[in-house]
Structure 1
Amino acid sequence: MKHQLATMLELQNGMNTKVHADWREQKFEWYRAIWVECAELLDHYGWKWWKKQTPDVDQIALELVDIWHFGLSLLLLKGYSVEDITAIVEDEFSNPKSGGDFAIDLEHFTERTLSTKDFDVSGFARLMVGINMDFETLYVGYVGKNVLNFFRQDHGYQDGSYQKQWGGVEDNEHLVDIVAQLDTSAGDFKDELYKRMEARYKELHG
């Protein structure tokens, strides 16, 4: 877990720095980003009693990955070392228990986010348990999303020259395909993923 967390923290700091070189001094409202994501997550879970709804677990997992981005940013803001953050996460993830009602667990997590303006690691772990999401799934989803964001930025996303369709297939789908071909436990997973994406992008765009 320590190596995986180190990779994610490096990526998060890198993406935050890409957005603003002095991101730590900007007083961005990371907690606000978390509770907004919580509202979106609840929509994917379903709460409307006046129509039939089935939880979209894949979308819920994606929303949890997004929340993790903001949570890591809050942990980094505290000045914690990788070792400190690893100890916190390992402790809170060691034996989380679902409250038995995902929507209620989500509301408790949201309430704590709003009252503390901080990241409730234990509450987040409880939400993962609620959809049977393990740490490996969180890691792979997180790294994939970050590498794709970096790739887009590096290939003209801001000036509009980037093409999301590669040979008629959206980049998200290429990402999933490439990740499936890689050893996600390898130390160079994120670097190899970027290289493979670049090779395919060049192959399909010349």
Structure 2
Amino acid sequence: MKQQLTTMLALQDEINTVVNADWRAQGFAWYRAIWVESAELLDHYGWKWWKKQQPEMDQVKLELVDIWHFGLSLELQKGDAGHVAAEMDAKLSDLALAPGDFRENLEAFTLATLQAKAFDLPGFAQLMCDVEMDFDELYRRYVGKNVLNRFRQDHGYQTGTYIKNWQGREDNEHLAEVCDSLDAGAADFKDQVYQALQARYPAGQAA
């Protein structure tokens, strides 16, 4: 787990630096992004008592991965990836979790995040437990989405030239297919994902 954490933290630092080279000094409100993503997450899980709703579990997990991006950014404010990974690994290893009420746990996680303006790592781990998402799945989904974010930046996301729909499908759908076809345990997993996305992207559309 520690090595996977180190890899994810390094990737998060890298993508943040692509967006803003001095991101650590900017004081971005990562906690606020987590709050907004949590509301979107609850919408996908379902909360309306006046209509029949079933949790959209794939979307729920995608939203958890988005929250993880912001959580890693908050954690990286504490130091370098290796040091932070060791601290996170220790906290996660000490947890004894059992599935609970996802909605109530999400509200508790969001409240803790807003009060401390920090990432509630144990609370996030509880949410993963509630939706039966293990750490390996989090790693696979995170690395895939991180690579997609980098791919978007490299192909004109900030300038508005990036094409999000390819062959009638969104890039997220292509990403899911690519990740399912590759070995997430491979040392060059992220590079394989990027190359596979590049092979599918419309020719001549690099930024």
**Contact 1:45/1:54 (<8 A) preserved:** yes
Distance 2:33 2:167 in 1: 34
TM-score, structure 2 as length reference:
0.90
TM-score, structure 1 as length reference:
0.91
Q: How far off its partner does 1:161 sit? A: 2.6
Q: How far off its partner does 1:124 sit? A: 0.4
Query: Where does the alignment leave 5 or more consecutive residues of structure 1 unmatched?
Result: none
The 4+ residue runs of structure 1 with deviation greater than 3 A are 93-96
Corresponding residue number in structure 2 for 1:44: 44
Distance 2:102 2:14 in 1: 32
1:74-93 equivalences under 5 Å are 74-93=74-93
1:115 and 2:85 aligned: no
Residues 171/20 of structure 1: CA separation in 2 closer, same or farther (3 Å cut)? same
**Contact 2:95/2:122 (<8 A) preserved:** no
Q: How far off its partner does 1:90 sit? A: 4.5
Distance 1:190 1:26 in 2: 28
User: Per-residue displacement from partner, 1:117-158 (whole Å, max 9, x unpaired)?
Assistant: 100100000000000000111111111111111111111222
Corresponding residue number in structure 1 for 2:185: 185
Distance 2:117 2:107 in 1: 15
Residues 199/72 of structure 1: CA separation in 2 closer, same or farther (3 Å cut)? same
Corresponding residue number in structure 1 for 2:54: 54
Query: Aligned with 1:185: secondary structure?
Result: coil
Deviates more, 1:108-117 or 1:80-89: 80-89
What's the RMSD between the two structures over aligned residues? 1.8
Residues 151/108 of structure 1: CA separation in 2 closer, same or farther (3 Å cut)? same
Distance 2:157 2:82 in 1: 31
Deviates more, 1:25-34 or 1:171-180: 171-180
Letter in 1 for 2:165: Q
Q: How far off its partner does 1:160 sit? A: 2.8
Corresponding residue number in structure 1 for 2:145: 145
Q: How far off its partner does 1:94 sit? A: 4.9
Distance 2:8 2:57 in 1: 23
**Contact 1:34/1:67 (<8 A) preserved:** yes
Deviates more, 1:142-151 or 1:86-95: 86-95
1:15-30 equivalences under 5 Å are 15-30=15-30
Q: How far off its partner does 1:110 sit? A: 1.0
Q: How far off its partner does 1:65 sit? A: 0.4
Letter in 2 for 1:205: A
The number of residues matched between the two structures is 204
Query: Aligned with 1:205: secondary structure?
Result: coil
Query: Aligned with 1:186: secondary structure?
Result: coil
Overall identity of the aligned pairs, in %: 59
Distance 2:166 2:53 in 1: 33
1:205 and 2:182 aligned: no
**Contact 1:96/1:129 (<8 A) preserved:** no
Corresponding residue number in structure 1 for 2:157: 157
Query: Where does the alignment leave 5 or more consecutive residues of structure 2 unmatched?
Result: none
Q: How far off its partner does 1:189 sit? A: 0.5
Residues 137/23 of structure 1: CA separation in 2 closer, same or farther (3 Å cut)? same
